[in-house]
Structure 1
């Protein structure tokens, strides 16, 4: 289930992922907003203040420091732009927009649509691979399956697949 890439009306790029989970929106909401879950898959250290207009601060993970030479104090900022628990969360991360939509499926599960909007086309394949790997970790967390692999290594492995599918 690869993500897709589209050009927005204003000339930006939107990566879109759709996933179905056999878990209610409330449980998936916790996986995408609570620090104890985010640490396993989100590509930054962030704690959410789930109020519209709240400022977010994104810090590098230990793996980003190791892999990319980032310093632990390199922070990015963002803002919560829309929030309707457990159905909608939208926020900025510097110039990017991240939008999480959860819809109950009527049989105890839900559909997640995640969209990441950004300016630089060159980041599409690596970003898609990273989000894809992160969503695999979310699925494992929800199903209470052990994660015995690195999402970073998984993203590296998926990048070539995304280069071929969205370029």
Structure 2
């Protein structure tokens, strides 16, 4: 079985990145919806964002209600864009910038479903451990959604549990 852990590595230009790979028994179209549909994103993604925009569009990644409640985080009252949609080729490639980071989702059809490769190029190398734990927890929710399993855990709590694996 594949490793569930993300791989932390240095990119060709010296930045730190995290990469996850998942083999999923679901077609690319279903995986695409799991990573773009606002209703599904609200269960696991660490921001509120509308990704259904033309390539090149500026994006605003808002703070989630849970982040507001748990950490006291607040949105920019001016809602100044903090990202940009770089590529959107449903159902195979989604790439965007967010607060100086690049997030890439690649979905390839396989004989039994899809291969999902997610890469997050970080702006702060010190954030690799916590970010990897958060993405792993989020991907667990994505997989549960795709499988039709109930989500009986909180992804933020799960990320805290996983953090030790990335220290």
TM-score with structure 2 length normalisation? Answer: 0.93
Which residue number corresponds to residue 77 of structure 1? 82
> How far did residue 66 of structure 1 move?
2.0
Pairing partner for 1:105 from 110, 116, 120: 110
Which range is displaced more, 148-157 or 73-82?
Answer: 73-82
Structure 2, unmatched stretches of 5+, are none
Q: CA–CA distance in 1 between the matches of 2:26 and 2:41? A: 17
Which residue number corresponds to residue 16 of structure 1? 19
Shift >3 Å, 4+ stretches: 72-76
> How far did residue 73 of structure 1 move?
4.1
Q: CA–CA distance in 1 between the matches of 2:76 and 2:147? A: 34
- 1:150-165 to structure 2, matched below 5 A, reads 150-163=154-167
> How far did residue 71 of structure 1 move?
1.5
Which residue number corresponds to residue 148 of structure 1? 152
Which residue number corresponds to residue 28 of structure 2? 25
- 1:51-130 to structure 2, matched below 5 A, reads 51-73=54-76, 77-107=82-112, 109-130=113-134
Q: CA–CA distance in 1 between the matches of 2:165 and 2:115? A: 24
Question: What value does the CA root-mean-square deviation take over the aligned residues?
Answer: 1.2
TM-score with structure 1 length normalisation? Answer: 0.93
* 2:143 aligned counterpart, secondary structure: helix
The answer to whether the Cα contact below 8 Å between 2:87 and 2:93 also exists between their aligned partners in 1 is yes
